[in-house]
Amino acid sequence: MTISQQISIAAKHIKEGNLVAFPTETVYGLGADALNPYAVAKLFELKERPTFDPLIVHIASVEEIKRLTVNNDNRVYELAERFWPGPLTIILPKSNLVPDIVTAGLPTVGIRMPDHPVAIELIRQSGCPIAAPSANKFGQLSPTQAKHVNKQLSDVDFLIDGGESAVGIESTIISLNEKGFEILRHGIITKEEIEEIIPYYAVPDRDKTNIVSPGMLKSHYSPNKPIYLLDKNIPDFIDYPKAGLLSFSGKDTAKYKIVELLAPDGNLKTCAVNLFAAIHRLEESDVDYIIAETVPEVGVGIAIMDKLKKAAYRYK
Ligand code: TXA
Ligand code: MG
């Protein structure tokens, strides 16, 4: 089936309130008509996602901001101009059009315009914004290829195979306040890049128990094999010839059974692109556990370390 045939079948499914997995530049998404609460309810069910965790709404035109939000903040358009289509999600006050189930009852909604021709065409042909979390079961490894989606969500109504995601990790999520922006989830678009448009400003004294972004759990992105960070806390029971290594530096690799070299060019962005696909391969291989070399926590390294720490959290 050609990609355009896949898109038109998928759009029919979205219009009928069914679920479609589709490619974006970050990771594959599991999509539903964002304005149809029944379709969105099915989405939470298939993903086994707790309903306290809100969804990102994907749009194909900046005009949609007017319908979906009560925004009158011009900074949003400056950000859209610079970063959309692209891996930036902006949290904004929601309009009444957005069903509460999409935002998990929050007064705000996360919006993003994906930089992928298939995703954009799907949204256009469906005639509605598309609510989509990453197309994995809740808490598990994110999908950057169609076959990764099949591993976890084989019973989705339709899956569009659009090849491999170019960015490889989820969008950067920001919220706006009177003085600037805050980062709720790190991604490939860094704080420094956003600061070229508006200042960074973390609201002081925010009640940290009042969770800003419910999905920012400590454990996430977990493969079904134990994963440990290669730092001073590495357990001493590790039998290296039975382990797979996620290597950034390419150093000290000889003792491992399998080595996944994440960035042959030494670039952290390349590392992000390959990260989830490499963990999927190790998950499917015969190694007993996965060891992840740490990367410098600067720029995109912040997002990479965030994923690795969350993946390793439950094995600490
Ligand atoms: O790159 C991405 O963002 C991918 C692709 C498919 O677009 N989507 C994605 O969605 O990563 P998901 O559901 O896996 O992660 C969305 C995160 C959640 O952790 C959620 O808590 C947060 O966004 N979020 C969504 N709406 C929010 C809101 N109104 N306020 C705060 N956080 C929000
Ligand atoms: Mg996710």
Q: What are the φ/ψ torsions at residue 172 (nearest 5 degrees)? A: -70, 135
Q: Which residue has the tokens 């390294």?
A: 301
pLDDT given at position 72? 81
Tell me the Ramachandran region of residue 174: left when phi exceeds 0, alpha when psi lies from -120 to 50, beta otherwise. Answer: beta
Q: Is the Cβ–Cβ distance between 246 and 311 less than 8 Å? A: no
The total of other beta-carbon atoms located within 10 Å of residue 2's CB is 7
pLDDT given at position 160? 98
Q: Is the Cβ–Cβ distance between 183 and 99 less than 8 Å? A: no
Does the CB atom of residue 170 touch ligand 1 within 6 A?
A: yes
CA of 142 to the centre of ligand 1 (A): 12
Q: Which ligand is nearest to the CA of 136?
A: 2
Does the CB atom of residue 176 touch ligand 1 within 6 A?
A: no
Segment (H or E) for 41? helix 37-47
In 3D, which of 282, 284, 5, 45 has the Cα closest to residue 162? 5
Residues 289-301, mean pLDDT to the nearest whole number: 96
Which chain residues have CB less than 5 Å from ligand 2, an ion?
A: 134
CA dihedral sign, ordered 81, 83, 89, 90: negative
Report which ligand 1 atom has the smallest distance to the Cα of 108: 29
Does the CB atom of residue 214 touch ligand 1 within 6 A?
A: yes
CA of 194 to the centre of ligand 1 (A): 18
CA of 247 to the centre of ligand 2 (A): 23
Does the CB atom of residue 172 touch ligand 1 within 6 A?
A: no
Instruction: Specify the residue with its C-alpha closest to ligand 1, atom 7.
Output: 29
Best residue for ligand 1 mutational test, from 28, 48, 49, 56 (most atoms within 8 Å of Cβ)? 56
Residues 296-307, mean pLDDT to the nearest whole number: 95
Report which ligand 1 atom has the smallest distance to the Cα of 134: 14
The total of other beta-carbon atoms located within 10 Å of residue 64's CB is 18
pLDDT given at position 210? 53
Residue 207 has pLDDT above 90, yes or no: no
Distance CA 180, CA 28 (A): 30
CA dihedral sign, ordered 20, 23, 25, 29: positive
Does the CB atom of residue 24 touch ligand 1 within 6 A?
A: yes
In 3D, which of 1, 5, 58, 61 has the Cα closest to residue 31? 58
Q: Is the Cβ–Cβ distance between 202 and 174 less than 8 Å? A: no
The structure's pTM equals 0.94
Best residue for ligand 1 mutational test, from 112, 137, 173 (most atoms within 8 Å of Cβ)? 173
Residues forming a β-bridge with 267: none
Amino acid at 130: I
Task: Give per-residue pLDDT as tens, 81-116.
Answer: 999 999 999 999 999 999 999 999 999 999 999 999
Residues 6+ apart with CB under 8 A from 73: 92, 176
Report which ligand 1 atom has the smallest distance to the Cα of 109: 29
Does the CB atom of residue 108 touch ligand 1 within 6 A?
A: yes
Task: Give per-residue pLDDT as tens, 116-143.
Answer: 999 999 999 999 999 999 999 999 999 9
The total of other beta-carbon atoms located within 10 Å of residue 39's CB is 24
3-state SS class at 146? helix
Q: Is the Cβ–Cβ distance between 59 and 113 less than 8 Å? A: yes
In 3D, which of 270, 6, 16 has the Cα closest to residue 162? 6
3-state SS class at 173? strand
Distance CA 55, CA 250 (A): 37
